[in-house]
Amino acid sequence: MERFFLGGNTAFGFRSFYREELSSAENVILLKGAPGTGKSTLMRAVASEAAKRGLDCELWHCSGDPSSLDGVYINELSAVVADATSPHPHEAALPVIAERLEDMARALSREKLLPRKALLIEALNDKKESYLRAYDKLNSALRHYRRAEERYFEAADVLGIKRMAAAFALRVSEPSRGRARRLFSRAITPDGEISFFDHLAGRRVYLMRGGVPGMRLFAEEAAGLLGGSVLFDPLFPERREGVLWKGGALVADAGPFSPLAERIELGDDRARKACAEEEEACAALISEAVRELGNAKAAHERVEKLHADCMDYSVTEEITARVKRMIFEEA
């Protein structure tokens, strides 16, 4: 079981790769519904059922709450169950044929909700304002990120790094197989910067060591030559920070796989020192953004609680059973 983020909190607001991932699957169940209506619980039930049947699945975690899910992908069935509500709304391109909709909000009681309207609006507004402040902080962090890049490249041997990346790609290159994907292996969340490493299991891991701008440049160059799936920077999603292919992985952080990873030393100590101050300023602003994301999560949980008190969970159970049939029993 591998874990990724398909969407993240970036310097440009929320950015995701949902559209291309969902369009590649043959059987897509789109879940609509407000917070607290059981979407994540349903997806975990699908993942559990897949495990019981010996089917490996991929979990797509939520950058707004990493303990929650935004999607479950079962590769062997080419099937996806995904949250299709804001901030990653998705509509059916081929209704019934490729995508089917399930409205989890059917389980909500309008009669019970109406007296809570003012509290819901207040919580939703608080959540929106917190996200706006978080994205403002991340945008400010990006300015320092870019200045760090400028200072780094003024002092670095840029051509040398590009040559190293080209030599690396030639050394490890394998014929590309399967679909090239765009993913986040880490995200800026209310719990800080969270990383997943499951995708490194069974691969030969190559771990870059050097300044962040240098490692991004190395990854950009190598990805262009290697093909494969690309891991993107959660703050600046235009920057590649890793590459995955069938036989291996090139990453800037290997977590528990670090002891066995092959090191790629960029030898850029002077350039790293040149950009250290800007990188520290960037990190401080990301920390401030994390606090605002925590406020957004707290407001989101208030909405979830208000909705949960108005739910008819027998409806949720019926929807869960139907989704399982659509995934595991229907052709």
pLDDT at 242 over 80: yes
What pLDDT does residue 187 have? Answer: 97
What pLDDT does residue 246 have? Answer: 83
Q: Span 117-127, mean pLDDT? A: 97
What pLDDT does residue 68 have? Answer: 94
Q: Which range has the worst mean pLDDT, 145-149, 226-230, 265-269, 289-293?
A: 226-230
What pLDDT does residue 95 have? Answer: 58
Strands 192-195 and 204-209: unpaired
State pLDDT tens for residues 58-105: 999 999 999 999 999 999 999 999 999 887 766 666 555 668 999 999
Q: Which amino acid is at 209?
A: R
pLDDT at 303 over 70: yes
Q: Span 255-283, mean pLDDT? A: 96
What pLDDT does residue 89 have? Answer: 66
pLDDT at 241 over 60: yes
Residue 175 pLDDT class (50, 70, 90 cuts): low
Residue 3 pLDDT class (50, 70, 90 cuts): very high
What pLDDT does residue 92 have? Answer: 63
The proportion of the chain whose per-residue pLDDT surpasses 90, expressed as a percent, equals 83
pLDDT at 107 over 60: yes
pLDDT at 137 over 70: yes
Number of other CB atoms surrounding residue 262 within 10 Å: 13
pLDDT at 166 over 80: yes
Residue 229 pLDDT class (50, 70, 90 cuts): very high
What pLDDT does residue 177 have? Answer: 60
Q: Span 184-190, mean pLDDT? A: 97
Report the alpha-carbon distance of residue 290 to residue 159 in Å, rounded: 36
Model pTM score: 0.93
Q: Counting beta carbons within 10 angstroms of the beta carbon of residue 145, is it exposed (0 to 12), middle (13 to 18) or buried (19 or more)?
A: buried
CA angle 171, 174, 179 (to 5 degrees): 140
Could you state, in order of their start, the residue ranges of all structural domains in the chain? 2-108+312-328, 157-267
What pLDDT does residue 94 have? Answer: 55
What pLDDT does residue 176 have? Answer: 58
Q: Counting beta carbons within 10 angstroms of the beta carbon of residue 96, is it exposed (0 to 12), middle (13 to 18) or buried (19 or more)?
A: exposed
158-177 residues labelled b (16+ CB within 10 A) or e (exposed): beebeebbeebbeebeeeee
Q: Span 27-33, mean pLDDT? A: 93
As a residue count, the chain comes to: 331
